[in-house]
Amino acid sequence: MEVTQALRDYVHKRLRKLDKYFDEPPTVQVMLTVQRGRHRAEMTLTINAMLLRGEEETDDMFASIDLVVDKLERQMAKYKTRLQRRGKEGLGRTAANAVAAEPDEEPRIVRTKRFAIKPMTPEEAVMQMNLLGHDFFVFTNALTEEVNVVYRRKDGNYGLIEPIPGD
């Protein structure tokens, strides 16, 4: 779809709502599509090493934009709250306290797996993921020699996550 100036201005206006969460402006990728009368807004926001992503689909592009920005704002508020809690708790929390976590605490890492990463193509990684019955699979891409992730999408297709070279 062709993005009108009004639509572009609306996206910028709505994203300014998130400015209060950042000291420096994040990088934002916005993708607006229309298929079979459904208006889809997808936004990916990158700041430092943090990545936030949201997508919404409605009968109206402006409503889709509103919903996805609201979703990103909720993610940012949740992330900010986590950072504030960590600051209050400090690093002095013992392992015993961590194990005796209260039910209303945030989810935490409870298990670590280690495995050898074998070079393979993304197609081989999808096959391996399906053989294991997992929803994602980490591997070294034989074509790029980078660590990649393949995952199963809600629509039944697959996605590939590749790192962007840092500067």
DSSP line for 10-60? HHHHHHGGGGGG-SSPPEEEEEEEEETTEEEEEEEEEETTEEEEEEEEESS
* Confidence at residue 149, expressed as pLDDT on a 0 to 100 scale: 96
Question: Which CATH number fits the domain that encloses residue 125?
Answer: 3.30.505.50
Same domain, 118 and 48: no
* Confidence at residue 1, expressed as pLDDT on a 0 to 100 scale: 65
Same domain, 13 and 82: yes
Q: What is the mean pLDDT of residues 31-48?
A: 88
Same domain, 83 and 49: yes
Quick check: is 68 in a domain?
yes
pLDDT of 12 > 80? The answer is yes
Tell which of 89, 117, 147 closes a domain: 89
Question: Which CATH number fits the domain that encloses residue 30?
Answer: 3.30.160.100
Residues 167, 146 contacting (CB under 8 angstroms) = no
Quick check: is 94 in a domain?
no
Quick check: is 20 in a domain?
yes
Quick check: is 104 in a domain?
no
* Confidence at residue 3, expressed as pLDDT on a 0 to 100 scale: 83
The model's pTM is 0.55
Same domain, 40 and 115: no
Quick check: is 99 in a domain?
no
Count of structural domains within the chain? 2
The 10s digit of each residue's pLDDT in 68-96 is 999 999 888 887 777 677 665 544 443 33
Quick check: is 98 in a domain?
no
Same domain, 25 and 56: yes
Quick check: is 148 in a domain?
yes
Quick check: is 167 in a domain?
no
* Confidence at residue 41, expressed as pLDDT on a 0 to 100 scale: 93
pLDDT of 142 > 70? The answer is yes
Structural domain of 147 = 109-161
